[in-house]
Structure 1
Amino acid sequence: MTDSITTHTVVPIATEDDARATCDALEDAVEEIETLTVVHVIEKTEGYPDKAPFEARREQAERIFSIVEERFPDGPAIRRELRYGTDVVDEVVAAAADVDATAIGFRPRPGGRLRRLLSGSDSYRLITESERPVVVFSRLGSQTT
């Protein structure tokens, strides 16, 4: 395998549907990735009750990780990174630093929990606050509902 900016890519994933759609988008690039670190952030809200029971959110994270692992059983090496925090962008950037990733990659999303991350000001924050390249994986025609 040749050196590539995507050799070790961190990919944030929010839901099971997002995991399937992100895997579709990664399909064309996966051969260039040696290690794929899947990041799922369980958002904590300061001063407010959590949105869902903690155990249910951990179970959702397990399902997300399993979807990616089952989709790419023969490579790349897949790492799980479960993070907790009040700011998804901060957690994704920190995860990339912690695992010494070569890039952060994402699939543009039309909506959902990570919409803030991947559109508008938060995508700008991800690009400007990360010391790593940010790669957009897009696969025309692959829509997961």
Structure 2
Amino acid sequence: MSLTFDGTILVPAADPDDGERTAAALAPYLEPSSRVIVVNVIEKAGGAPDKASVEQREEYAREIFDRARGPLEERAGAVETAILFGTDVVETIFEAAVERNVDAVVFEPRDGNRFVELLTGDVARRLVKNASVPVIALPRNEEE
């Protein structure tokens, strides 16, 4: 079975390494008709003071996008980026997916031990469990 993406997909990226890894894992599945929207969610503290300024977080998001673009632009017809703001990362991702009428949310699960997942809410698990659009987890690259 061969998998290809020829529609619009949303790719959440948490940090520059995640963005680059996910883009590299996704690139072989793209078609010239693919439209990829790479997003980074800036989590609002919900009343608590933020650890970094909005400007710092936006700069960090631009670094994520710069690193993700390379592998994607070689294969996709269009690559877009968006900085999203929300108090819940998963809800914010799905709101953006619905607003942009994407065909799927695509991600590469990151390493993490169960304790860290328990504390952080395990975004990957929640992406699959709370899906309002199709969600595809790309296979991990064993060389990493």
TM-score by length of 2: 0.81
Q: Which residue of 2 aligns with 1:27?
A: 27
% identical equivalent positions:
33
Q: CA deviation at 1:32?
A: 7.6
Q: CA deviation at 1:141?
A: 1.6
3-state SS of 2:45 partner:
coil
Q: Which residue of 2 aligns with 1:102?
A: 103
The superposition leaves residues 3-59 of structure 1 with CA deviations (integer Å, 9 ceiling, x where unpaired) of: x66621111001011112112221331238611111100011112111212111100
Tell me the amino acid that sits aligned with residue 116 of structure 1.
D
- TM-aligned CA distance change 1:16 to 1:5, over 3 Å: closer
Tell me the amino acid that sits aligned with residue 96 of structure 1.
A
Provide runs of 4+ in structure 1 moved above 6 Å: 112-115
Deviates more, 1:77-86 or 1:23-32: 23-32
CA distance in 1, matches of 2:86, 2:107: 19
TM-score by length of 1: 0.81
Aligned ranges 1:63-102 → 2 under 5 Å:
63-76=63-76, 77-102=78-103
Tell me the amino acid that sits aligned with residue 108 of structure 2.
R
1:12 correspondence with 2:4: no
The superposition leaves residues 72-93 of structure 1 with CA deviations (integer Å, 9 ceiling, x where unpaired) of: 3334111112100110000110
- TM-aligned CA distance change 1:67 to 1:99, over 3 Å: same
Tell me the amino acid that sits aligned with residue 18 of structure 1.
D
CA distance in 2, matches of 1:16, 1:32: 24
Q: How many residues align?
A: 135
Q: Which residue of 2 aligns with 1:52?
A: 52
Which ranges in structure 1 are unaligned for 5 or more consecutive residues? none
Q: CA deviation at 1:68?
A: 1.7
Tell me the amino acid that sits aligned with residue 122 of structure 2.
R
Tell me the amino acid that sits aligned with residue 97 of structure 1.
V
